[in-house]
Amino acid sequence: MSRYWNTRTQNIVPYVPGEQPRDRKFIKLNTNENPYPPSPKVIEAVKNAANGDLRLYPDPDSTAFREAAAAHYGVKPGQVFAGNGSDEILAFAFAAFFENVDSRGVQPLLFPDVTYSFYPVYAGLWNIPYRAIPLREDFSINCTDYRIPCGGVIFPNPNAPTGIPVPIEDILSLAEYLETQNKVLIADEAYIAFGASCNEVSRASCNEVSRASCNEVSRASCNEVSRAQSAVPYINKHPNLLTIHTMSKSASLAGLRFGFAIGNEELIEGLRRIKDSFNSYPIDRLALAGAVAAVNDWDYYNVINKKVTETRDRISKELRLLGFIVLPSAANFIFVKAPGIDGVNFFCALREKGILARHFNKERTADYLRVSIGTDDEMNLFLAACRELIK
């Protein structure tokens, strides 16, 4: 504590990012980075943008990107907002759409009890009351639980750190309900690009894992896993539905810091009002050039992201055969519980072998690790380490 901090600074509990080690070389499976490099066209675009124009301020509206993204997603440029990473856009969204405790008759914002851990941080930063809605026993989101008077709803699809997707029909039904209250539903689609080939845990593979495993991952989840489907095509029908995206995962640009939102023009204007009250020039010229090149070369990214999902599905199957519990994932990571080993020891044992994963030491997730999907070679080493741990 510092005597110079105001009350807000003293009371907030900041988000803790995944470890970025410098002391030794690790296989990094802890921060959901894409294991493959960005498109060569992105590298070339960034190099070309590193010229004398860097002396000039960038376009405050990121027009080139908004036009390119609008063409790619089949929306209007006015329905696209660009930001310095999706986390910045999430911060703007909390400020723009959810009431703080000083508002009369304010209802709490709703999000899952196991979800992206930045949500309670932003709620604390903006003094927004919130209520964490428990996931089902199988760790899936039940949208019916959110059909109550509230200040709005936000959750990732697929959810993090579980990787389990939310059926699109449930999202749209919830958006329709919230619209009657003039409240916003935010679908945080950071991992949506990896949901197209969501691994389906067959009855046979479910029978091969332990009975305890099947009790924790319900029969419905084991036999029928929904694929993650973007809500972008439905923004015109549901004006209170905002989707938020990042280029850190699907576009291999975690080091570039670029995110965007797609939604109704009124929602985009709300984000713009907050942005222009905070920083009118959030996107630098190099990031803008790289992001435009990325959205224009999605054929390249479809190939590498398909490789990620294929590796995810293969490793998930192999782990289940070893007796591990692996939640059905539609993301570029898996949520894993080792047989006979608690989460802390699982994490430490992998770290000793030079492999980093992410551990969330809370009651429902304490025995699980979130493991990002790396290259096939990296994941083979992870799988070998897991085999050794359970001997």
CATH number of the domain within which 221 lies: 3.40.640.10
Question: What is the model's pLDDT at position 21?
Answer: 75
Looking at the structure, tell me whether residues 185 and 319 fall in a common domain: no
Question: What is the model's pLDDT at position 179?
Answer: 97
Please identify which residue in the block is written with the tokens 């694929």.
Answer: 227
323, 75 contact by CB (below 8 A): no
In degrees, to the nearest 5, what angle opens at C-alpha 109 toward C-alphas 129 and 371?
Answer: 105
Structural domain includes residue 230? yes
Which residues, at least 6 apart from 270, have a Cβ–Cβ distance to it below 8 Å?
A: 96, 97
Half-sphere exposure (Cβ direction) of 228: Cα atoms closer than 13 Å = 29
Structural domain includes residue 142? yes
Alpha carbon separation from 320 to 18, 136, 217, 346 (Å, rounded): 26, 21, 12, 16
For the record, the structure tokens of 359 come out as: 């551990």
Looking at the structure, tell me whether residues 245 and 350 fall in a common domain: no
Looking at the structure, tell me whether residues 153 and 284 fall in a common domain: yes
Question: What is the model's pLDDT at position 67?
Answer: 98
For the record, the structure tokens of 231 come out as: 């809500």
- Rounded to 5 degrees, what are φ and ψ at 16? -110, 110
Cα-Cα-Cα-Cα dihedral sign, residues 368, 369, 374, 380: negative
- The DSSP output letter for 145 is G
Alpha carbon separation from 171 to 140, 159, 168, 236, 282 (Å, rounded): 13, 13, 5, 14, 30
Per run of 10 residues, the mean pLDDT along the chain (length 391 residues) is 90 81 84 97 98 97 98 98 97 97 91 96 95 97 98 98 97 98 98 70 34 39 60 98 98 97 98 96 96 98 97 98 97 97 96 96 95 98 96 85
Rounded Cα gap, residues 365 and 362, in angstroms: 5
Rounded Cα gap, residues 196 and 219, in angstroms: 22
Q: What is the CATH number of the domain that holds 344?
A: 3.90.1150.10
Residue 336's nearest CA partner among 161, 99, 98 is: 161
Give the number of domains in the chain. Answer: 2
Rounded Cα gap, residues 118 and 16, in angstroms: 9
Which residues, at least 6 apart from 130, have a Cβ–Cβ distance to it below 8 Å?
A: 108, 109, 110, 111, 119, 120, 123, 151
> Looking at the whole model, is its pTM more than 0.75?
yes
Structural domain includes residue 361? yes
Is cis: bond before 161, omega within 30 of 0?
yes
Single residue among 297, 313, 344 that ends a domain in this structure: 297
